[in-house]
Structure formats: C-alpha cells, structure tokens
Structure 1
Amino acid sequence: MDLAQKFENGSVGEAIKCIDMHTTGEPTRIIYSGFPPLRGTLLEQRDQAMNQYDHIRKRIMLEPRGHYDMYGAILTPETELVSQGPAHIGTLFTHNGGFSTMCGHATIALGRFLVDTHDLTVFPKRNELEFNPTTCEVAVNIHAPCGLVRVTVPTTADGQKSDPSRPVSFLSTPAFAAGIDLEIPIPKEVRWPELGDRGSITLDISYGGAYYALVDVRELGFTSLAQFDLGAISNAASKLKAYLMTHPAVSSALQHPEDSRLSFLYSVMVIDRDVGSRPEGVDGTETGLCFFADDEIDRSPTGSCVTARMALAHTKKQKSVGQKWAYNSIVSNRFGTGAFVASIVDDKVRVGGSKEAVTVRVEGKAYYTGTSNFILEEGDLTSASGFTLKECAQ
C-alpha cells in the first residue's frame, strides 16, 4: 500500500483537493474537489456553507493546513446563473473569518485555472468557453455572490492554456459610492495613540462587490505607506473597523439596494495617494493597505476595492471613463511589479432600478504555487476544524 492509499483509507471523509495560486503575493487556494455539495441559489449555497460547513472552511484556511492570512475560492459548478446561461461556473470566496461576496485577486487566479483545466468533472462547461483567435483570449463568466463577473484570460495561440506573461482582466458587477466624506467622531475609548487628541476622522464608503471604508493614511495619524509601523497601523484599523460596524451613518451607507445579504462592512482600506509603483500606460498611481475579515491583511492591491475606489473617484469627478490608474499594495511596491490597473468602462449603470453605478475593468497577474490534497486522519482533534494561535492564547 502506497502512502496515498494509506492516507485515503485512514482519513475521515473525502480528501479535499486544491490548487494554490497567488496574485501579487496574496494566496488563492482553489478548492475544486472534496467540499460537501451545496444546493440552491449561490447566496443560499453561501448560507449553507456558513451554517453547516464552517468547520471545513476553517480546516482548509487555518492552521495547520493554512495560516491566518490564507484566502480561498470554492468552485460551485451549479448555480442559478449557470443554469440560466450567463455564467459558466460559480464560486464562493472564503478567508480566515468566513465567506466574502467578491474578491478581485481570486477572480484573476480563477480565470487562469478555469482556462487551464480540461477536467469536465471540475469544470463541466469548460468546452463552452469561447476562444478569440485574433486576440488569443478566452472569456470566462464567473458567478460570484455579488453577481456576474466577466473575466478575460490571455492564452496561448491555440487557446488551450493561459498565458502568464499577459494580465487577466475582469469586468466588475455594478459599483457605486455609498457614503461620501463622512465625518466620524472617534470616542476616547476607541482612539489609537497616533490619532492624538483628534476627535473625528473623515472617510468614504464605497461598494465594489463588497463594502469598503476608505480612509487616507494621514486621517489615521500616520504620515505615509512608504515606511510605517505595520503593527501600529493594524491596531488603528482594527479599532476603527470594529467601531464603524456600530456607527449609524456607516450602517445607513451599507444598505445594498438589491440584497440585504450584501449589506455588511467587509474592510477598512488605508490609502496613500502620494506613493506607488507606476507601470507604463497609466495616468497615475496610489497605494492601499487592506484590512478585512478577522484583521486579515491583503498582500494584493485588492481588486474589489480597486473597483470601489474607481466608483468613488468617478462620483467625486476625479476619474473619467477610460482613464487608467495603477493601484498598488505594499507588496507590489516592494517588488516593483504586481500593481492592478483599472479603468471605468461604463458609467450608465443602475443598481436597484435607480442608483447610479459604474462598471470597472481591473487587470492583474496570478501565478501557480502548488497543489494540495488535504485529509483529516481519525482521532486528529487539533486540525479537525483548524485553529489560529491567537485563539489558543485567549
């Protein structure tokens, strides 16, 4: 008996099979086999995964198989948009604290994987993907919990494999500014040392498939995202996010016009418009540091927040249709590569019948890092639902 057979025979339940990728250093663990089957609409599948299988989400994301800042995408071949025709496949996004509604960096990684796989048990509609021989691109429509995301993947000349030398792009679901220049009082018990005696800060709320609180680094009392104390700014963002989730003005801004299950604050994005690696062909650049889920920090520029930032800038008349902008993370700045480039392609979109919105194109590169087959061995209580070291210390 070889080791693989021993693992299979000694494991509890089916092995969970994954492909690991990264986008500007941010991981995407693509779960393509072994997650329990889910039923209903995609948002109902998300509810089922949260209510019935959260221990499996933790098993895949957290220690000892993952880590605190792991991110994942669970393939869901059957959704309402897949059966109706617009989508080729669905996905659920997952992280250290639960399940998100949109993720740009994972979408970029998924685009490459879905073109590269030819296993119809993994991707039943793979043969329905349309190849453009002129541009050497394949279109993949992914049903995310926030809606339909249209992905364009560059390929080899025959369209059978993705081309990692060119960026993947996606067109966002409708994005919109939800709260502009909100002055938020910060009580003394919430304040962090760098804020000093300031009694309030100003921030914006914008939606790009999930809701983001967008705040300039100087509003928090820091000088720059070029050099900074990561622990100190993490403390500030953590305190701020917890407080914002209880603030009436923020709660009012978070009401999605179409589905209440999208109405939650996903992240605090700290922004510095004075620094950032600048690729060719863009009109400008900036940097963001994204704190999301349970104090998780995004290594990538955060594609759904890039969408939200573009929507906000358009509402403030700072960005026009077709204008290209580079969005960096501290990782892309460190390596001089990996910025996401975004532009508004349509500003005549409506959400909920009347709310003005935009469609944004975001592009970036993702790379493969490995494969995994995860099992749970009989009697292994430590890893059955994963853990974080922070939880063990409480």
Structure 2
Amino acid sequence: MKPELTIQLMDTHAGGDVSRIVTGGITALPGDTVRAQMEYLRDDADGLRRLLLEEPYGIPEMSVDLLVPATHPEAAAGYIIMEVMGYPIYSGSNTICTATAVLEAGIVRKQEGKQHFKLESPAGLVSIEATVHDGVVEAITCEGLPSYIHTHNASISVPGIGKVNYSVAYSGGFYALVDARSLGFDLTLDEERRLAETAHAIVEAIQAERGFSHYTLGDVGPLPFLHFMGPVEQVAEGYYRSRSATYVHPGVICRSTTGTGTSARLALMNHEGRIKPGDKLETISLRETGFIGQFTAVEQEGEYQVVKNNITGKAYVIARSDIVVNCDDPMVKCNGLTHILKSEGGCLTCRTYPAGKQPRRTQ
C-alpha cells in the first residue's frame, strides 16, 4: 500500500478572510531564516500553495500560513504566508490568525488577560499582544510593517474606466490607494464583483506603466494590491472610521479590510497631515467587519516619512482537519509538492522541537 500523505490544518478567519494554518505534514524546509525558507517554497515547492488555494481543496480567496520552527531565539514560532498573488513577506490578517493558532495549538500557553510573545515572519520578528478572557482569545494586536507613501496623487488612464487618481503606499507590499466615491462606489457588498473588475483594470494599467522600488528592499515585484478608500469620519477624539476594501491581484476582493491595507491608510493620512501619533483608524469591510490601526510613531528615512503602527483584530477557529493528498486524483496537481510532504503526516509542533523537549512556552 502507498503511504497516506496528509496535511494537518487549523482553519481560521479574521474579518472574514480565511487563513489555513498548516500545523503538520510538511518536512523541515532548508534555510537558516524564515525568509530563506519562504524563498525555498516559492522557488522549489510552490505546489503547497497551489494545492491549498485551488480546487478541490480550497479557493483563491483563502490564504495559507505554514508554521515552521523559528530561527530567531526570541520567537515562539515562524510562519510563511501564501496567497493567490504569491508569497507576501507580511500580512496583518494572517498574523492575527497565526498568533491565535499558536495559542490554540499550545505552542504558546494561554494566560488570562494580556500576554506578549513574538513570531518570526519572512519580514522579521513581529511583536504580539494577545487578550484572553475565560480561555478565549478575544483580540490580537500585532505590529504593522513600517509604512510610507511612495507616490502621492498620481493619475493614469485606464481602458474602460478613464482617468484614475491614485497614491501608492508600501506597508508589506505596494498598494494603489484610490478614492471609492470618485469611481462610483459606496463600498457595499453588492458591489463586490464590480470592485474586483475595476481594481483588476487599474492594477493591470499601473503594472504596465511603471514599477516601484522599496528604499531598502529594492525591487519587490509588480504592484499586487489596491485599496478602495471610503470617506473618513471622526467618531471621537483621535479615533477615525472609514469603509474600505482591499483587492489582491489577480481577481480577489478580500473579506476583511486587511492589516496591510489599514497600515497603508495610516501612512496616507499621515502624509496628508490628517492624523497624529496615538490616533486610531477603524476600517470597515464590505461584510461589516473591521480592524483597528493605530499610528504609533513616525520616522524620517531619506525622503520618506515612515509610519510605525499596529493592527488589532480578532480571529476565530472554524475547523481542524486532515487533508488527504491523493496524487492519483486528476483534480490534484502534485508537482512541486510531494518532496516536502511527510509520508506519515504528523504534528508540526512535535517535529519542530527535539525529542524530549516541550514547545517553548512564551509568557
């Protein structure tokens, strides 16, 4: 008999965006950092991403987060993010879901009240604050990546749409930021398909016209994100709210407003002088879910004002399952996959730590 190939998952969602946390069934990846392991997956084992985001196992609107052993001594665990567009080095919603999963899996022991630990993303260490009440993870606050405005108030002619004004922020990926009302949108759920079609056309036009380079990372690939911005209303001193929708190229409107989209909004509000350190912005999705971004500080990096921020949201566990990978199934593409599957399946946190040692219980 052939050995059964299985992958262990904990499915979660934050703001409606489903993150599939891979907790077992994958062999140790080469690379002395989580970033290097991400690059190995991207270049030599992209079959895992495609398997879990395509039929029959998934859909492109999901994300995947592979738990891996941390390479930094301060981190409780590492994680690699996979989406339809590829391998972003950071994501707020995925970080919120992953932090919740490591608490639910016991990699970090839950404690009542607020507790702090760190995770290692491909972008580096991420500080986490978890709020636990009666054993339930009620909120996760994570660091957003330092964010800045690369381009302010540019315009482009888009086939079928006309002239579109946009700004470009970096917040873990490059984002085109566009005013929703100027394009005829109120950011309601019935507009979802038209939002995706409009964003697709705008991103295609921007990608064809120009590229973007990060001031330290250099070329990070074609612009992959677009964020529709609704009007900003002030609901209290230092507290703002705005309807929002994030698009991931090609073709996906996120269920949540996304953490990196919220960070990009904070960078734009700072650039335009509409927010100060300590202020918060709550972004509201098409499905009436929200994240809260807080602008914590600003630093000058060359010509750019770089906004430090954090993102708060809540994740829910919606399933724990074993996926059986049957490479004889004509619907299943196993190219770039079988060499990283463990034939016996197994618990990732069991293989992550040497025999006889317990997972690191970060306080």
Q: Tell me how far apart the structure 2 counterparts of residues 114 and 66 of structure 1 sit (CA, whole Å).
A: 22
2:58 is the counterpart of 1:58: no
Partner of 1:368: 317
Partner of 1:149: 126
Q: How does 1:64-79 map to 2 (within 5 A)?
A: 64-79=56-71
Partner of 1:341: 292
Report the structure, 1 or 2, having the larger strand content.
Answer: 2
The answer (yes or no) to whether the contact 1:325–1:341 under 8 Å persists in 2 is yes
2:287 is the counterpart of 1:331: yes
Q: Tell me how far apart the structure 2 counterparts of residues 385 and 218 of structure 1 sit (CA, whole Å).
A: 44
Q: Measure how far apart 1:147 and its partner are.
A: 2.8
Q: Measure how far apart 1:10 and its partner are.
A: 4.6
Unpaired runs of at least 5, structure 2: 336-363
Q: Measure how far apart 1:318 and its partner are.
A: 1.0
Change in Cα spacing, 1:146 to 1:378, as seen in structure 2 (3 Å) is closer
Structural RMSD (CA): 2.6
Q: Deviations over 1:107-155 (max 9, x none)?
A: 111122212322xxxx4xx47x9x6x7xx22212122222322111112
Q: Measure how far apart 1:20 and its partner are.
A: 0.5
Secondary structure of 2:208's counterpart equals: coil
Partner of 1:391: none
TM-score of the pair, normalised by structure 2: 0.84
Q: Deviations over 1:328-356 (max 9, x none)?
A: 11012xxxxx31111111213x55x7743
Unpaired runs of at least 5, structure 1: 1-8, 333-337, 387-394
Choose between structure 1 and 2 for higher RCO, CA contacts under 8 A separated by at least 6 residues.
Answer: 2
Q: How does 1:103-142 map to 2 (within 5 A)?
A: 103-118=91-106, 123=107, 126=108, 136-142=113-119
2:225 is the counterpart of 1:267: yes
Q: Tell me how far apart the structure 1 counterparts of residues 283 and 177 of structure 2 sit (CA, whole Å).
A: 14
Secondary structure of 2:101's counterpart equals: helix
2:150 is the counterpart of 1:178: yes
Q: Deviations over 1:36-67 (max 9, x none)?
A: 42222322222210121111211122111111
Q: Measure how far apart 1:281 and its partner are.
A: 8.2
Number of residues of Structure 1 aligned to a counterpart in Structure 2: 334
Partner of 1:244: 206
Q: Tell me how far apart the structure 2 counterparts of residues 322 and 354 of structure 1 sit (CA, whole Å).
A: 23
The answer (yes or no) to whether the contact 2:145–2:171 under 8 Å persists in 1 is yes
Equivalent of residue 33 in structure 1, options 24, 36, 47: 24
2:277 is the counterpart of 1:305: no
Partner of 1:5: none
Q: What is the percent sequence identity of the aligned residues?
A: 19
Q: Tell me how far apart the structure 1 counterparts of residues 217 and 254 of structure 2 sit (CA, whole Å).
A: 26
Q: Tell me how far apart the structure 2 counterparts of residues 385 and 180 of structure 1 sit (CA, whole Å).
A: 44
Report the structure, 1 or 2, having the larger helix content.
Answer: 1
Secondary structure of 1:93's counterpart equals: strand
Change in Cα spacing, 1:148 to 1:293, as seen in structure 2 (3 Å) is farther
Secondary structure of 1:301's counterpart equals: coil
TM-score of the pair, normalised by structure 1: 0.77
Q: Tell me how far apart the structure 2 counterparts of residues 15 and 147 of structure 1 sit (CA, whole Å).
A: 29
Partner of 2:76: 88
Partner of 1:17: 8
The answer (yes or no) to whether the contact 2:327–2:334 under 8 Å persists in 1 is no
Q: Tell me how far apart the structure 2 counterparts of residues 211 and 361 of structure 1 sit (CA, whole Å).
A: 18
